[in-house]
Structure formats: structure tokens, C-alpha cells
Structure 1
Amino acid sequence: MKTSRLFISFSDIKGVTLVSGKEYSLDTGDIIIYSIYLPNFIDFKANLSQFLNSPELKKAKRYYKEIDRNRFIIYRSILKLLLGAYTKSDIKNIYLDYDFNKKPYLASHPWLHFNISHSEDYAAIAFSRKKVGLDIEYLSNDFKFTDLFPDIFDDHERLVIQNADDKKNAFYTLWTRKEAFVKALGKGIDEDFKYIPCVEGQHNLDFKLVKNTQNWQVYSFDFAEHYLAAVAFEGLPSTSGNQVLYIIPDSMEILLEMTQRKNY
């Protein structure tokens, strides 16, 4: 039986503020994550809209609530700015394609893997030369997460949550791990979601479950106050490279600097 390994653990990734002059490049093992506090960019909405094409602007208009329209404009435009910076491409030449599970990718630059997640006031984007998945979640006090137990956790995982001192934190820790991993796999949430491992430690993965023979890593980390995150990517811990969390400041100067990267 074909199997691969999955390593799940915690990470002490700490956020550092993005500064002017950063070089946008990726080494083989790099996992670079960008944090966007969406309310900080509301005043820049008109400036950021110019980086969206007609289909993207139409998609923004389809959101019923203004806050959701604004959030989409902000995180989609910053995603495109970052894609332009990493590929040294003009923003007008950045067109997102989608796979069968609606996961976006750049057909023009298949070496660049990225994933975006958003929850309440935050969005986050991960970049890598490896397949990568990212999930952030707001730790809601109103969400009755126990209702989901039968559909998304096995017996052992339910016991881990039920026996935890902080059950809400335990739930979101395991939930974000599953989400990040299936996003890295490109599977999305399906009937196999319940069987995706999420408890800390090493796991053997059946080929039938993940449909590949790659080894994987998943790391949980504190993303912001009242937010948890998990990032999943290919490879063994022994080959892990640089993992950085950049906090994007509310500065149009720094954002526009991304558009000024010269072509190769």
C-alpha cells in the first residue's frame, strides 16, 4: 500500500512588519506568509481597485454587504501586487486561473504556489515554491462548534477537544490544520475531510486519502489576538527552510513599491 508521512506540530512564527526595500524572492524551502489587517486599508480602497480587472470588479459587486465587497477588493488587490512582485510582472498581466476545486493559481508561473485565507478582519497569503495551504480563523465565542463534531472529527480527535482545558482553542487548532492541509492538497472539503489527520505528531497517509505520495508538514501558530492559523506544505521537517510572517503596514507607498520591481 502506498503511503506518505504527515508531520503536525506547533510553530513559534512571529510577525514582523514589512519594510520598504524588501526583495521579493523565494528559495526552495521558503514559506512566506503575509498578514493583512483589512480595516487599515479601507481608506485605500479606491487606489487598490485600479489593480483589479473587470471580472474581479464584477465579482466584488456581487457581494451583498459593503464590508464584504471592501474586504475582497483589499485582499485580492494585495494578492495581485504580491504576485507581481514575486514574478517581476506588470500587475495588468496577472490573471488568476482556477483548478477544479476553485483553487487559484498562475498558469504563467507554475513554480509559484500561493494560498489565501480570510476570517473577519484579517486576510493572509502564503507563498512558496512548494504546494502550500493556509487557514486562519477567528476564535468566535458564539460558534457552537460541537455541532460539527460528527462530520469533521474522528473519535480520537473529539476526545482531544473534549479533554482540553481550552476546548475552543483545541477545536480551532485541529480545524485549521485540516483546512490548511486539504487546501494544500487541492482537495477542498469533501467526504474524506473527517479522516484527514490533525492531532500533533507523525501520521502515515493512505494514498487513497490524499491521492499523492508526497510527505507533508502542518504547523499551527498564533496569528493575531483571537486568531489561530495553520500552514501546510510539502516536505519533511529535516528539509524545512525559512518560515516568515510579514505584517503589511497601511502604507500605499510600500504597496506601490511592489509594482516597481523590474522584469528579469
Structure 2
Amino acid sequence: MIEYVNQLGGGAPSTGPLPAGASAVVWSLDTTATDVGGHRLRDAERVLDAEERERASRMVRPGLRDRYLASHLGLRILLGGYLGVAPREVGLMREDCPCCGEPHGRPAVVGGGVHFSLSHSGDLAYLAFSAVPVGVDIEEIPGGQTVSDVLSSLHPAETAELESLAPELRPGALGRLWARKEACLKAAGTGLALGLTEPYVGSLPEPAAVPGWSLTDLPAPAGYAAALAVAG
């Protein structure tokens, strides 16, 4: 079950308890907003930790930096609500990578308590929270050249599906495929380390069944595709 919650705006959000079992709550956020969940964007660096501030400082384009600050401010506000602590008190870490064992795997809360996933593309961010491992992804629909560039990197069945479509239909199909694939890879914590071949998620209107995960397409504005993967 997925509880899809509309945009996190300028007012303080009502988080409530997380649903039990293999389910998730998903929030959306306009990353161009100047007020996020009752906090002003210009005050974001007072809430973020040193690593987040350092990463933001390396972003030379103001628009890109503001989108990063807004999405991470929103993440901390929502995590704080679910954990019952102030946003600045949320401790974040990286789990060990399942591929190499180094500490650059899935982002996590220090001490556990809630699993989360964050994705941003264009001017939108999606944030997912669950009691079990979860991955969310939102993608702007790609251009035709992107389709050509990645076709050979996908699962052979996915490549065949896309090649069978008229050229004008391929970008939309790749967008939903890519969102599904990224959601699964984020949930598993592998990222792109093992490539894009597995898992097979399909490009058809309904996602393929992925063993061990509940994979679902999410509502998204025109020009975007989004998906959610929840363990179990």
C-alpha cells in the first residue's frame, strides 16, 4: 500500500506514524520554493549537517544549489517529524555498499527508526519513507538521443520493447522504465555499480514483477515519470 501525500509546502507538515509492513508514504516538493515545511530556504544551512553544507558549497550554479538545499531541508523536516526530533538533530549516514562493503551505500538514519529515499529531477523532488527499505525515483522524460545512448545498456527484453515502439513513443517509455530501475537500485543500495541490465522492470504501462520488491508507478506531473520500490 502507498499513501501518496501531496506537495510539501511552506507550512509545517503533519507526518503522523509510518504505516507498518511493506508500505510507504511519499511526499512531493517543489524545489524552487523559498519556504519548505515552515522553514525559509535561506536558513537551510543552519539545519543541514557539515557534509550537506560542504556539498552545497561545491555547486556553483545558484539554481542547482537551491534545489539541493530545498530537497535536503525537506528531507530533514520530514525525518524529524517521523522520528520526533528537530530537523537539525537528525543524524544521517551511509550504509555499507552491498557490492564492495565500503561505507558509500544507501543513505540511512543513524540508529535506524525509519527508512527513506530522496530523488530530485528538474524542479521536483520526491521523498519516500517506510519501516522497511525503500527507493523512490522521479525523472524528467528524456530526449530521443538519450534513448539511443542507453538502449544497449538495458536488459535485452527492455531494449527489444523500446525498439518495437514508434520513435515518438520511446522517450516516455524510457522515462517510466528508468524511474522504475532507479527506484529498485536505490532500495537495494547498489546504485549503478552493477550497471543497468538488472533488474528487469519493463517499459510497458505496468511495471514487471521484481522478486523481493513491490514496484509501483507513482503519479507525476506532465513531463515526468516516477516510481517506488518497497522491500517485500
TM-score norm. by structure 2 comes to 0.81
Q: How many angstroms apart in 2 are the aligned matches of 1:94 and 1:25? A: 17
Q: How many angstroms apart in 2 are the aligned matches of 1:21 and 1:62? A: 30
Specify the SS of the correspondent of 2:182.
helix
Asked if structure 2 preserves the Cα contact closer than 8 Å seen for 1:13 and 1:221, the reply is: no
Count matched residues: 213
Q: How many angstroms apart in 2 are the aligned matches of 1:21 and 1:223? A: 20
Runs of 4+ in 1 over 4 A off after TM superposition: 11-15, 17-21
Unpaired stretches in structure 2, ≥5 consecutive residues = 98-103
Residue of 9, 14, 20 corresponding to 1:28: 20
2:200 alignment counterpart: 197
2:231 alignment counterpart: 234
Of residues 64-73 and 77-86 in structure 1, the stretch that sits farther from structure 2 once superposed is 64-73
**What is the Cα deviation at residue 143 of structure 1?**
4.7
* Residues 23 and 39 of structure 1, relative CA distance in 2, 3 Å threshold: closer
1:239 alignment counterpart: none
1:56-77 deviation digits (Å, cap 9, x = unpaired): 2222111121111111111111
Letter in 2 for 1:16: N
Q: How many angstroms apart in 2 are the aligned matches of 1:155 and 1:79? A: 36
Is 1:55 matched with 2:55?
Answer: no
1:208 alignment counterpart: none
**What is the Cα deviation at residue 191 of structure 1?**
3.0
1:187-222 deviation digits (Å, cap 9, x = unpaired): 11123531311123435x5xxxxxxxxx21111133
* Residues 92 and 195 of structure 1, relative CA distance in 2, 3 Å threshold: closer
* Residues 12 and 202 of structure 1, relative CA distance in 2, 3 Å threshold: same
1:174 alignment counterpart: 177
1:158 alignment counterpart: 159
**What is the Cα deviation at residue 41 of structure 1?**
2.6
Asked if structure 1 preserves the Cα contact closer than 8 Å seen for 2:155 and 2:196, the reply is: no
1:104-137 deviation digits (Å, cap 9, x = unpaired): 10122x1310000011111111000011011110
Letter in 2 for 1:182: L
TM-score norm. by structure 1 comes to 0.72
* Residues 163 and 74 of structure 1, relative CA distance in 2, 3 Å threshold: same
Asked if structure 2 preserves the Cα contact closer than 8 Å seen for 1:115 and 1:132, the reply is: yes
Letter in 2 for 1:229: A
Specify the SS of the correspondent of 1:39.
coil
**What is the Cα deviation at residue 21 of structure 1?**
6.9
1:4 alignment counterpart: none
Of residues 25-34 and 188-197 in structure 1, the stretch that sits farther from structure 2 once superposed is 188-197
Q: How many angstroms apart in 1 are the aligned matches of 2:12 and 2:73? A: 18
Letter in 1 for 2:189: G
Letter in 2 for 1:73: L
Residue of 90, 94, 98 corresponding to 2:90: 94
Question: For 1:1-264, what aligned pairs fall within 5 Å after superposition?
Answer: 16=6, 22-29=14-21, 30-41=23-34, 44-99=40-95, 100=97, 101-108=104-111, 110-141=112-143, 143-151=145-153, 153-165=154-166, 166-199=169-202, 200-202=207-209, 205=211, 215-235=212-232
Aligned residues with identical type, % of pairs: 24
Q: How many angstroms apart in 2 are the aligned matches of 1:171 and 1:104? A: 26
Q: How many angstroms apart in 2 are the aligned matches of 1:144 and 1:48? A: 34
Of residues 63-72 and 133-142 in structure 1, the stretch that sits farther from structure 2 once superposed is 133-142
Specify the SS of the correspondent of 2:110.
coil
Unpaired stretches in structure 1, ≥5 consecutive residues = 1-10, 206-214, 236-264
**Higher RCO (C-alpha under 8 Å, 6+ residues apart):** 1
**What is the Cα deviation at residue 144 of structure 1?**
2.4
